Structure formats: C-alpha cells, structure tokens
Amino acid sequence: MAAEGSILTFQGLTLDYTSAAGSITALSGVGFDLQKGEPLVLIGPSGCGKTSTLLLAAGLLKPTSGSVMVDGAAITRPREATALILQEYGLLPWKTVFENAALGLRIRRRARAEISERTLAALAEVGLAQFAKNYPDELSGGMRQRLALARALTLDADLLLMDEPLSALDAMLREGMQDNLLKLWHARGHAQVLVTHSVEEAAFLGRRIAVFSARPGRIQAWVDNPAMGELDFRSTAAYQDCCQELREALRKQSQYEGVSQEEALHA
C-alpha cells in the first residue's frame, strides 16, 4: 500500500528479461516511495536497472513480480500526467521545434487551440519561442535538451522522469541546464526522478539519492540531502559533504561487487 502523500511507489519489485542467452534479472526487490513534489536521483553502475526503473514508473514495462503504483493506483499503461525524457531526447528531425514540442499533446488529441497555447508557453518557458520554426539539427545540444524538456512541460506533468538527459553536454553547459531543471522544479512543484552517473549532478538535484548495486539492481544505500534546492548550493559545505557521502557509498558498493572504484564512480 502506498504511503500517504506518495505519488510513486515501488513494492518488492523484480524485473526479468528474456534473451537468447536466457533469463536475466535486471532488478531485484526494489522498493521505495516518492513523495509528491520530491526530487529523487538514482545513481549506480551501468547496467544496474536505473533506466528500467524509469520505464516501469512510466508504464512502459511490466514487473515480473511486485508492483508499481502512481497516485495509489497500479500502473498498467502510460498516464497523461507522467512525462519521460530519454537520453537521446526522442526528437523527430523532420518536424519543427514547435511540432516536436507539441507531439505529446497531439497524441492525446487535444484541441488545436490548446495545443498552440500550451506549446508556445512551454517553448517560452525554456527560452526557445523564437526558434519555433527551426528544426532539431539547427539547434545546439543544450537547445535540443531544452526542446525535450519543453515537450514534457506541455503535458503539465506532476511526475517527471529523466534518463541522463544532460550526459551529452559539456561541463559548463551541463551546470547551466542543471540550474534550469532546478528552477523549473521550484516553479512547477512536480515530483521528479533523475537517472545520472554524475555524483555532482546527483548532489545538486536530489533531495534523496538511491545508490543501486550492480545487476541485479537493488537499492544498497540511501543518501539524504535536505539542504539542496538553491542555485548556490554547489558552494556550500553541505553539497561537498553530500558528494563525499555518495562517493563513499559507491566505493563500498564497488568493493562489495568486486569492481574497481573507477568503474563505480565513472561507469
């Protein structure tokens, strides 16, 4: 049963994949509650099931056992108020910026006037209104990331799921986009789950951080980060302490799994 105030609940979840090589357990015994408006980060080595966790939350995968609930109801298919941003953004190169941003609303068969109003508002919110008639290949990497975010914002989501959306950006642009995600979270108050391999990004954007084990993925440690939430957080002792706690949790995990510290921190 979901805890009161939870928007997303995983209970005793296991996920198996079947391949030519046989059955592979991607996730084992994963359980957590995400509160409404809470920013959660998932971190861990490659292949540990973090992306699968997002796909389960989005209703795009079904668990082998256990359950996934959103707003207290079992999730059996994608829901309108959940937005998913994948690592490659999922942009259609033959459609304009406006058409890409409006895609989710068109799929939901919203009225033309509503599509126009909400899409233009979302593009303005991420600073892309003047590029509405451009195409994705005419945009920089950071602008394409903002376009993917705008498409999510048009849906007025209360749950935003993000799979390493900033991993392809250079360091300075990445920090700027992290700032944008933080501002949007403050402005909209949605719950969000971010998958990342970056300790610094996890500490900046997660109020709680789940450290996953190597496959089969289990949550091996929780790092609480109550001081996050301000743009100057990176300059504080609390931020440095959180980064250090995360590195230590990953280091312990790498020792337990028999992989190198370098693999755990930079997989």
To the nearest whole percent, how much of the chain has pLDDT over 90? 61
Q: Model-level pTM? A: 0.87
Burial class of residue 175 in the structure, from the number of CB atoms within 10 Å of its CB (0-12 exposed, 13-18 middle, 19+ buried):
middle
Cα 151 from Cα 139, distance rounded (Å): 15
Mind listing the pLDDT tens digit for each residue in 50-92? 999 999 999 999 999 999 999 889 998 888 889 988 877 778 9
Task: Tell me how many degrees the CA angle 11-190-40 measures, rounded to the nearest 5.
Answer: 50
Instruction: Classify residue 24: in a domain, yes or no.
Output: no
Two tokens at 65? Answer: 């056992």
**pLDDT tens for each residue of 123-169:** 998 889 999 999 999 998 888 888 988 888 888 889 999 998 888 77
Phi, psi for residue 258 in degrees, rounded to 5:
80, 25
In a domain, 149, yes or no: yes
The alpha-carbon radius of gyration of the chain (Å, integer) is 18
Q: Give pLDDT tens digits for 92-108.
A: 999 999 999 999 889 88
CATH number of 132's domain: 3.40.50.300
**What CA–CA distance (Å, rounded) separates 128 from 142?**
11
Task: Give the residue numbers spanning the domain of 250.
Answer: 36-63+79-266
Query: Taking Cα atoms as reference points, which of 154, 128, 129 lies closest to residue 142?
Result: 128
What's CA 216's distance to the chain center, in Å?
A: 20
How many domains does the chain contain in total?
1
